Each structure stands twice: as structure tokens, then as C-alpha cells.
Amino acid sequence: MEENMYRLLIIEDDLGIASAVEKQALSWDFSVKCVENFRDVMKEFAGFAPHLVLLDLALPFYNGYHWCSEIRKVSKVPVIILSSASDNMNIVMAMNMGADDFIAKPFDGNVLMAKIQALLRRTYDFTAAVPLLEHRGALFNKEDGSLTYEGQKISLTKNEARILSALLENKGKTVSREKLMERLWETDSFVDENTLTVNVNRLRRRLNEVGLTDFITTRFGEGYLISE
């Protein structure tokens, strides 16, 4: 997949509509994923890290308002609501929950694609990356340094965020202390071994506060690891 290919997440339980939108989006060179597990939409959201979300309101288990609200807790990614319930009350409620646009069903595929592209142009430049990483149900937003887990949200310092970002980007691999120190040099002019140790210990304490115990493993003589 090309680095600048936009990722589109479709949260729609009507397979006919989902597959039609997917087909059209693929023809425009989007990378597309249709949600399969409607009990845990956020896990698929975090794993795919979409640039834009198409969200139906009438879904099994939890409605679209719920998932829009959950997405907004961790991300500013654009959300377009697709719904046949297009009365003013539903439109206003969707916008209040954090949606960026509302398209009534049935809709024209070309109009939908035009709206998607317009919203992407307003939101991103071509090199923009979605700053969301997920592990063990925890969602880390690289943009603002916040971590959300089981309804709890904490804000990390710049150094804590840089360490966690480096470890999550290399899940399953040991990241050397030297590599982590290079990350910290991006914010601090002087970082020594002791500074790194202090920051890792602080990060562990913050993770423990929200119940993420043993999140980071020490590999003595090598570095640190977040296991897959």
C-alpha cells in the first residue's frame, strides 16, 4: 500500500450498502475496511487507524451515536454519518456527538465520494498520518500524548509519549536504550542513561495508574519491549 493512500473505515451492518461503498472507494484508490465485529468497533478502529470513518446510525449492540462518541474520546478523525433517519433531530444529534457530515440514505455514490474527498482535503495534507496506536485495549494518541484505557484517560509528558510511541511502533521487538535516547534528544538537548531510566519508570507508574500493569518489559542489557 502506498504511504499516502487514505484509509476508509466503513461501520455499516447492511452488507449491500457496505460492499457497494467499498467497491466505489477501492476504485478511487482508497484502502478500505468494513467493520465485522459490531460489539467491539473500537478495536477494529484502532487496528486499522483510518483517515475517515463512514458510520451508520442503526447498528447491532450499540448505535452509531455511541460509537461516534467513543471515537471522539480518542481521535479527531473525520466521521460521516450515513442514515435513513434524516430528520433534523437526528442530524443535530449526530453533529453534537462529533460527526462532521450527515448523508441521508439512499445516497448517490458519486456524491458520497465527493464529500469524502472534500473532507479529507480539509483535514489532511498528503503526508498526514493518523496518530493512533492500540495495544491490549489501550489507545494512545501520538498527537496530544493522551492514553485511554477502559474509560480512563491520562496525559503523558513529551518524553513519556515519545518512549511509548517508539515501543508501540515496534510491538514485539526490543527497542534499544540508544534508540530511545535518540527519540528523547528530539525534545531535550541533553539525555543520559539516568534520564531515560527515570522517564521509563515514570511511564510505567502512569500506565499502572489505569491498570496497565507489566505493559513494558525490560530486556536487561538490550532495552525495552511491548509484547504482541
Picking from 57, 91, 123, the residue at the C-terminal end of a domain is 123
Last residue of a domain, one of 83, 102, 123: 123
User: Mean per-residue pLDDT for 105-126?
Assistant: 78
* Cα–Cα distance for residue pair 17/84, rounded to 1 Å: 12
Domain boundary among 75, 102, 123: 123
Position 186 scores a pLDDT of 67
Checking if the pLDDT of 71 tops 90, the result is: no
In this structure, are 108 and 141 located in the same domain? no
Please give the DSSP secondary-structure letter assigned to residue 218: E
Based on the domain organization, do 168 and 87 belong to the same domain? no
Domain coverage including residue 52 = 7-123
Band (pLDDT 50/70/90 cuts) for residue 227 is confident
Mean pLDDT, rounded, of the chain:
81
**Does 97 share its domain with 144?**
no
What is the count of structural domains for the chain?
2
In a domain, 213, yes or no: yes
pLDDT digits (tens, 9 = 90+) for 32-64: 889 888 888 888 888 888 889 998 888 888 888
User: Domain containing 151 — which CATH number?
Assistant: 1.10.10.10
* Total-model pTM: 0.59
Cβ atoms of residues 39 and 28 within 8 Å? no
